Amino acid sequence: MITQTITFILLIFLISKNVFAIDTKAEQAIVMDFDTNEILFEKNSNSKTPPASMTKIMTVYAAFDRLKNTDLSINNECTVSAKAYKMGGSRTFLEIDDKVSIDDLLKGIIIQSGNDASVALAECLAGTEEDFAKLMNVYAKRLGMNNTNFINSSGWPEDDHYSSVYDLAILSNAVIREFPNLYLYFADEEFTYNDIKQPNRNKLLSSVQGADGLKTGFTKASGWGIAATAKREDRRITVVINGTNSSRSRMNESANLINWAFSQTSQKELVSEGQVITQVDVWLGNKPRVNLISPRKVVSTLSFDQLQLIKSSIQYKKPLDAPILKGNSYGKLLISIEGKPNMEIDLVADEDVETINPILKIFAALKYLIFGSTLDE
């Protein structure tokens, strides 16, 4: 009995398209497919960098989690402290001692990027901004944001306050996935508070097809950045960049990456659930062969050049020893795609195969050894 490996071409796509490589002027960048979590492009994606106001995505995530899982309501009111009122930078123009609804604070944070609203919400939910930052870090650890540490709720420059574009992409996708109804706040294009109307700082909402979030950011240390996402038909792309040199460059670079992802990559089903991958001889079983199938659907997001040639191999023991149990793994399908981690899919039996009557075992064994075939052929 030996382990057999069969190499073959899984898929060959002959596509005559103008394939081009993508790059960006941003210092850090990442492009992710929302459904498959695959990275389509990255540049210094794990480098620690000041997240600036993209920090506020985590502030909002923490609030959304409280709204979803506790009795907290968007109609609850928070009192604006002196600390919140005195915050510089972008503001919602809250007044000291005002009582402001959670709803208005969320709009002030998301649409106007209000530093005052961020502090007011943090203090309302955790008592102090410092304690709220500790909560932010708990969420970050839970989400797997391994290159992130938050000191405040607004992104105000402080030592040891950092993240990475990869971590911010994880966070952005978590907001969309976990809070689909509350996520709609990010698509609002303007908000008026205290008779002051301010537009959403995310200009992609009106300039890129399907754009519906998330958040811009800027400090002198970080440059201009944005966590952005767009949905077209049933597909969503998330882009995070940081370190561009102007708001115009930020918009152009993020728009280019989104449009590239939609036009030059696509989701392909490589293997369907229940698909028969191979049929294997059975040793001393009441059935001569058993099908090995994929227990799950395998989808990958690929560029058109990657689609032209995908290699795969099957590994299994030949023949398989009876008894065989339906659903148990008896082999592996290995898929290799240039530029992506290798995929390994367990192959399971699609039915039970019992051992044969002991009296017949010796005849079956002799027949297999002499003729290389099973008893029932």
pLDDT tens digits, 233-267 = 999 999 999 999 999 999 999 999 999 999 998 88
* Residue carrying the six token digits 């009441």: 286
CA–CA distance, 261 with 22 (Å, rounded to integer): 9
Catalytic residue ranges: 53, 56, 113
Report the Cα 11 to chain-centroid distance in Å.
25
The percentage of residues in the chain with a pLDDT greater than 90, rounded to a whole number, is 78
- Percent helix, strand and coil across the chain, each rounded to 5? 30, 35, 35
Higher pLDDT, 2 or 113: 113
Q: What is the DSSP string of 310-341?
A: EEEEEEEEESEESPB-TT-EEEEEEEE-TTSP
The pLDDT-based confidence of 360 (bands split at 50, 70, 90) is low
The neighbour count for residue 17, using CB atoms within 10 Å, is 11
> Where do the structural domains in the chain lie, given as residue ranges?
2-13+269-371, 28-244
Averaged pLDDT score across all residues of the chain: 90
Q: Which CATH class is domain 28-244?
A: alpha beta
Reported pTM: 0.80
Q: How many CA atoms lie within 13 A of 144 on its CB side?
A: 6
Residue 369's Cβ-side half-sphere holds a number of Cα atoms within 13 Å equal to 6
Average pLDDT over residues 23-28: 96
CA gap 30, 241 in Å, rounded: 7
CATH class of 2-13+269-371: mainly beta
Rounded to 5 degrees, what are φ and ψ at 175? -60, -45
**Residues contacting 120, CB < 8 A, separation 6+:** 78, 79, 80, 81, 84, 94, 100, 105
State the burial class of residue 250 (Cβ atoms within 10 Å of its Cβ: 0-12, 13-18, 19+): buried
Q: What would the mean pLDDT of 175-200 be, rounded to a whole number?
A: 96
Q: Distances in Å between the alpha carbon of 217 and those of 117, 140, 157?
A: 15, 18, 11
- DSSP, collapsed to helix, strand or coil, labels residue 358 as helix
The predicted pLDDT at position 9 comes to 40
For 87-171, list the strands marked E by DSSP: 99-101
Residue 264 φ then ψ, to 5°: -115, 0
Flag the least confident range among 5-19, 189-203, 226-240, 274-288: 5-19
